[in-house]
Structures are given as structure tokens and as C-alpha cells.
Amino acid sequence: MLVIGIESSCDETAAAVVRDKKEILSSVIASQIDTHKAFGGVVPEVASRIHVENISGVIQQAIDEAGISMEDVDAVAVTAGPGLVGCLHVGVQGAKTLAAVWNKPLIPVHHLAGHIYANELVTDLQFPLVALVVSGGNSELVYMKDENSFEILGQTQDDAIGEAYDKVARVMGLGYPGGPVIDKLAQQGKAVYDLPEPKTQGRYDFSFSGLKSGVLQFIKRCERKGQTFTQEDLAASFQKAALDEVFDRVKLVLEDHPEVKQFVVGGGVSANSGLRARVDELRQEYPDKTFTVPPMRCCTDNAAMIAVAGEIAAEQGRVADARLTADPGWEI
Ligand code: KG4
């Protein structure tokens, strides 16, 4: 199947053409990071306006770079939620128009499903499976009994992990987005500072806001007492604390669900070097299971993952009609 995917749930306008869930013929991403940098985070109203300016050009570029005609396309897949409502509407409107003009099936895709199915680009997913979705808007552990069946086992009770990276980077004066900068600094430092451990209720739930405040309090305490610290060691300490929390929960899930065949990661934070090293450790620890991380270029928001998830949804007949609308609170 040849699927064109469209993604606009946050601050990336993206379109991609993917063949048979594996071959990316094109993947165009117009990032708005430089605009939002000035504000230290994504400004929803500004983001939706930029999507409006970019959407047609991005779709056209994806078709041109794939070297195909819309006549060859079997389905149009689009992120219909969750996300920023104004942003989602732009992608959904674009996809509806494309599907209507070319008389193609229109496939709504859940953003989280997209992040999970980014792994299908490099492997055939095996079920039951556990997925860790870690991004600027999500921190979830998801159990998939089968294709397109999602059960949330645990989730963040406050900030998402990517959000915590971005906020910690802001208090450390490192700019936006914080994840890649902290990741780089952490590789040059040592985790020598004590930061607070999370307090959560559910067995598999996360909490990152205490850790984020812990970093701020640590900096203030050092300033008050005239103590010095290094950015590298603070970044390493934060990253270790955040990943300890994540992988404590992951191990609990794997111990509680021995039937699980595969563990996958998705979302922007899956680009993190420390996280990838922890996945390598799990691979050694559980040789009977498969551990997969998405290709680097498909970790942060992109439309190739939406095309892949769209093909699976299309196989199951999950087709929408012209009444499709963005659903910012879509529960998976
Ligand atoms: O998946 P994504 O593009 O958007 C959402 O759906 O939220 O993820 C963006 C998030 C940002 O918070 C960014 O700081 C984080 O992913 N991120 C990273 C890294 N690269 C991106 N976090 C930690 N380490 C990285 N290398």
C-alpha cells in the first residue's frame, strides 16, 4: 500500500509518503522550533497560523520528493488527535481536502499510535507488546495485546518527561527545546548531585514535576550558599534521575507481564542517548524479548509514522468520512 501521512498536532507541519509500512519515499518536516524558541515553548495560536502557511507546500513537497502522483496513493492518513486543537484542525482539513479531491480513503490516526508504529519501519511488531511513549506531551506505558489495541498501564501524573527536559533546560538557561542540549551535556558530566525521587500512586505511573522543581531548588540553594556546580554534572544528575524513574517502571511491567514478546519506545525522548543505552541493557537482561527503538529521524514528530499507523488502521477498515474533525482530547 502507498500511504500519504499528514501530521500537525504541535509545532511540526509534516507530510510523508510510505510504501508498505517500511519504505519512506519522502518525509518532509517544517519545524517551527526557531519561532517558538523566543518564547521558551510552543505558543499554540502562533503554531496554528504557521501550519496554515505551510501545509499545502509541505504536502506538495512530500508528493514531489516521493516521485509519485496522487493517483498512485491508496490512502490519506492524518493525526486527528490528541494535540493542540487549532494545529490539529489544519492537518485534518488538509487531509480531508486531499482525500476528497482524489477520492481516496481518509484514515484518522491517534498521535500516540503513530509514535508506537514508528518502530514498524524497522521491525515487524510482535504481540503482546509493551510500548513506552516519551515525548513533550506524553509519558505513557502502553500494553498492546494485538494490532491497534491499546491499554494504558501507566502515565504521568503531572509533567511529561520531554516537558520536564524543556523546563529544566529553561531554568539552566539552555534554551528550547531542552532535551537534545541536556542529553549532550549529560554525556560530558557525572550524576553526582542528589535530586528528589518521584512520589506516584499507580504501580506504573510517572511523575516528573518534583524532579523539575528539585533542579530549580538545587540551583537556588547553590546560589544562596555561594556553592558552584557544573552544568554537565547537573544535566547528568537530572537525566539519570529521570531515566531511573522510567526504567524502574519498565522493569516492573516486564516482570509482571512475562508473556510480552517485544518492547518498543516512541516519541521525541526516544532519541535520547541515555535512554537508548538503557534499552541496550534491557536487551542483555531479557534475551528472550525483542527491544526496538525507532529510527532517529522518526523519534520526534513526523508524518512517516502517521502513514505507517494509517496503513494498519486502513487494513482494519478504520476509514473516516468528510465529517472527520480534530479531537484534541482523543483517548487511545
Ligand atoms: O515527539 P515530539 O517531537 O513532540 C511531542 O509529541 O511532544 O517530542 C519533543 C520532545 C521535546 O520535549 C524535546 O525536548 C524532547 O522531545 N527531545 C529529547 C531529545 N530530543 C528531543 N529529550 C531528551 N533527549 C533528546 N535527545
Whether the upstream peptide bond of residue 180 has omega within 30° of 0, thus cis, is no
Judge whether 111 is annotated as a binding position: yes
CA distance 298 to 130: 19
Atom of ligand 1 at shortest range from CA of 169: 14
Judge whether 154 is annotated as a binding position: no
pTM of the model: 0.96
pLDDT in tens, 42-83: 899 999 999 999 999 999 999 999 999 999 999 999 999 999
**Which of 37, 208, 269, 272 for a ligand 1 pocket mutation test, highest count of atoms within 8 Å of Cβ?**
269
- DSSP secondary structure string for all residues of 166-235: HHHHHHTT--SSHHHHHHHHHHTS---S--PPP--SSTT-B--HHHHHHHHHHHHHHHHHT----HHHHH
CA distance 305 to 70: 19
Return the SS3 of 129: strand
Q: Which CATH superfamily is domain 125-293 in?
A: ATPase, nucleotide binding domain (3.30.420.40)
Q: Provide ipTM, 2 decimals.
A: 0.98
Q: What percent of the chain has pLDDT over 70?
A: 100
**Which of 300, 301, 305, 332 for a ligand 1 pocket mutation test, highest count of atoms within 8 Å of Cβ?**
300
310 CA → ligand 1 middle, Å: 22
Q: CB of 80 within 8 A of CB of 92?
A: yes
At 111, give phi and psi (nearest 5°): -55, -40
pLDDT in tens, 210-249: 999 999 999 999 999 999 999 999 999 999 999 999 999 9
The CATH class, in words, for 2-117+298-315 is alpha beta
**What residue spans in the chain does CATH classification 3.30.420.40 cover?**
2-117+298-315, 125-293
135 CA → ligand 1 middle, Å: 5
Q: What is the dihedral of CA 165, 187, 171, 31, to 10 degrees?
A: -50
